[in-house]
Amino acid sequence: MALRPLRSRIQYKIIVPFLLLTLLVALAGSTAAFLFVTGNAQERLNNQLAQTARVVADAIVRQENSNLTFLRELAFAGPNAETGAPAVADALADGDTVGLSRAVEPFVRISRRRGVRLDRLVLFDGRGQAVLHRERDPHSSASWIDLPSHDMSGLWFVQRILAGVSDARGDKYAGLLDAGDGVRYLFTAVPIKQGERIIGGAIVATRLEGLLADLSAQSQSAITTVYDPANGRAFASSIEPVAGLSVLDSHPNLVERLVSAPDYGVFDTVMVNERQYQLAFAPLVVRGDIVGALSVALASDYVIGPWSDMRSSLVGLTIVLMAAIVGLGVFIARQITRPVEELLSVAQDVTGGNLDRRSTVKSDDEIGKLASAFNTMTSHLLALYSAVRAEAGRRAAIVESITDGVIVCDAADRIELLNPAARRILDLSDDDPPPATIAEVRVEPLGAAAPHFGGARSPDLFRIGERVVRVVRAPVFDSDGETIATVVVLHDMTNDVAIDRAKTNFIATISHELRTPLTIISGNASLLARQLAGPLSEEQQMLIDGIHAQSRSMISLVNNVITIAGLDSGSLTFDIEPIALAPALRRVIWLTRKFALEKGLALDVDIPDDLPEVLADAVHLPHAIAQVLDNAVRYTSSGSVRLTARHQGGRVRIDIRDSGPGISPEQRKTLFMRFSRSEEGLNSPERGIGLGLAIASELIQRQSGVIWLEHSSSEGSTFSLTLPCVTDETVENCPTPVASAA
């Protein structure tokens, strides 16, 4: 009973065995042994490298001291009576090359015995020209090669020697020298004086390659390298790497790092000839100045070697531990994964649609509780699925019964559902596959051929085959506001459009029939009013004038109705061509002026003579402007009406301003809709039927123009319209006469 809580909690099933596993892993202390061994080896290697670097640096300093002693003796050498050689200073001052050669010959012979590595000897005069320039044959140490005279004045230390410049350590100089022929040297230079006068100097140079190779052999370092203090690049080395000397390059601030870390040194690693070496750096100090940096290198195998000795034992121990861990891990994993695999199999069956499957795992731990919860969840899922399926069936039945076509698309506009009405509109049988996407549904906008419903042209009418439909598209959003679907409703408007067109044709026919007798009545009334049929009494004259005025008004209304019918039926055509706007405007003014004068209104006109031609219809443009001008005169009881025109960019703008009562904000929304009239217009003796501005708007738009209400207040209103000007390009592309319908 005491162990039951342990068996009922899966965490204990995992923790307790792995506590035992931790004891086994503790045997892996061999890793600590490896770190200890390699750490000691690394420390010993660092100490050995640092000591070797100091030994090599000291050896180079000793070599420089030997060279300096040699040069001091050479510079002060007097005449040799036995050999007939003059003093070195005298021969150099006289430019006596032969005498100078005899004077230095004894020093050259004994240089090796004196510890001097004399690889190149140069004596230069006061102009910096090499009087004696010898180099030891690199292939035969006993042979010398006399080199031609060379200008040495460009070397910094030669300039200082000839200038008599001295520092705190005297007038001798030493350092690293690149001779320009690929050979690098450690040089020592001293001035040569005749009395107190400097007549030249002497240079002793030691090949660094040979010097470093000898020092490597003496110090048992694998590689010894000298670095340029200016940039940390390898200057010379005891070996020449296959990849070039640049593989030994160090940090550009190498000398600064050496100066800032004098106690613990600077170390680095480098790959040379496919082998890793560890380097220790030390400053190269000559005559108290750091003239460069020095490194010695040993192969990293020195560190790995101790590990190789105990590798077999550690590998064996590791294999045993790994076997134990794997065995125990498999056992524990099986205890956990067996019920999990059974639960996974059940979950996969449920996912596949088998909602009757249940888990058979029975235990008191977390997996058992998970299996029980999963079975409960599956039962709830089954109930929910049944409810959803029932609801989906009910909604599908509703969609199927809708008389309008319904198309449901996913977020990518792929069609997922069509109801029977949609199939009928798309002319698809029950067996025909629907289009893949909504874009494949071929619809043709009716455009200008669309009928007017509610006083405005319906923009959402399209033709699908022989049917005319209204298309309504509505997105479906999820809780995050993302579009997850789109519902497209197709309302069959074929019969409505046919009825509307029949109505339009009927109105057009009736209007034509009315216009003929009205024209006769108006003409006869005009003849009677002018007393061409005999004199009239005052009362008769008044009656005849009333008949004439009302017949003219009725003719205007009938003409407007005929125009609307022509626009709707497509029988009204537009001949778009360049026309002179100023004469057309003046004709409209002339026709309206009498009406304005009868009302006592002033009709002001501002039309420049240089207005450019516009692209418009010579008949319909004056008609449209006349409608706006007539509307301004009709609803202005006193004051004036003003028409102005001006060139504005690539268009001509026409403004018609009146001093009428203005237009209310509510009326402005429907100003250009058919049969729209203001409150005042309903009671005005000049009232129309609300077609003037609607006709003007449609005529202007079909001539690529724009019309709008610019301003309205209690002091009057301003209507503005623009038309495109004629250019060379527009003349070339000017369309041929077409019907107003698309």
pLDDT, one tens digit per residue, over 514-551 is 667 767 776 777 777 777 777 877 787 788 777 866 77
Is residue 321 within 8 Å of residue 21, measured between CB atoms? no
* Residue 741 pLDDT > 50: no
Model pTM greater than 0.75?
no
Residue 289 confidence (pLDDT): 77
Residue 35 confidence (pLDDT): 57
Is residue 565 within 8 Å of residue 504, measured between CB atoms? yes
**Environment class of residue 681 by beta-carbon count within 10 Å: exposed (0-12), middle (13-18) or buried (19+)?**
middle
Give the tokens for residue 649: 């960019």
Residue 652 confidence (pLDDT): 94
Mean pLDDT of 63-90: 84
- Residue count (the chain): 742
Mean pLDDT of 568-572: 68
* Residue 647 pLDDT > 90: yes
* Residue 740 pLDDT > 70: no
Residue 440 confidence (pLDDT): 85
Confidence of residue 643 (pLDDT cuts 50, 70, 90): very high
More confident residue, 649 or 737: 649
Amino acid at 138: P
Give Dmax (Cα) for the chain: 171
Minimal CA–CA distance to 477: which of 467, 469, 485, 489?
485
* Residue 28 pLDDT > 80: no
Comparing 51-65, 195-209, 222-236, which segment has the lowest mean pLDDT?
51-65
Give the tokens for residue 600: 């006592």
- Top mean pLDDT of 239-243, 279-283, 423-427, 643-647 is at 643-647
* Residue 33 pLDDT > 60: no
Confidence of residue 4 (pLDDT cuts 50, 70, 90): low
Confidence of residue 641 (pLDDT cuts 50, 70, 90): very high
Is residue 671 within 8 Å of residue 717, measured between CB atoms? no
Alpha-carbon distances of 425 from 41, 385, 458, rounded to whole Å: 90, 34, 19
The rounded Cα 403 to chain-centroid distance in angstroms is 50
Amino acid at 639: G
* Residue 316 pLDDT > 70: yes
Amino acid at 243: A
Residue 612 confidence (pLDDT): 92
Torsion sign across C-alpha atoms 245, 251, 256, 259: negative
* Residue 742 pLDDT > 60: no
Alpha-carbon distances of 583 from 71, 169, 659, 714, 727, rounded to whole Å: 115, 109, 25, 32, 20
* Residue 9 pLDDT > 70: no
Describe the strand order of the beta sheet including 234-237 as a list of residue ranges. Answer: 234-237, 223-227, 289-299, 275-286, 266-272
Model pLDDT for residues 173-189, shown as the tens digit of each residue: 888 888 777 788 888 99
Q: E strands of 309-445, at which residues?
A: 405-410, 415-418, 444-445
* Residue 722 pLDDT > 90: yes
Is residue 201 within 8 Å of residue 189, measured between CB atoms? yes
DSSP letter string over 196-216?
TEEEEEEEEEEEHHHHHHHHH
More confident residue, 52 or 469: 469
Residue 67 confidence (pLDDT): 83
Comparing 50-64, 198-212, 627-641, 690-704, which segment has the lowest mean pLDDT?
50-64
Model pLDDT for residues 479-522, shown as the tens digit of each residue: 888 888 999 998 887 777 777 666 666 666 666 666 677 677 76
Give the tokens for residue 478: 């999820």
End-to-end CA distance of the chain: 92
Confidence of residue 659 (pLDDT cuts 50, 70, 90): very high
Burial 219-232, CB ≥16 within 10 A → b, else e: bebbbbbbbbbeeb
Give the tokens for residue 85: 């050689």
Residue 454 confidence (pLDDT): 45
- Top mean pLDDT of 7-21, 241-255, 472-486, 686-700 is at 472-486
Mean pLDDT of 102-115: 78
* Residue 29 pLDDT > 70: no
Average pLDDT, the chain: 78
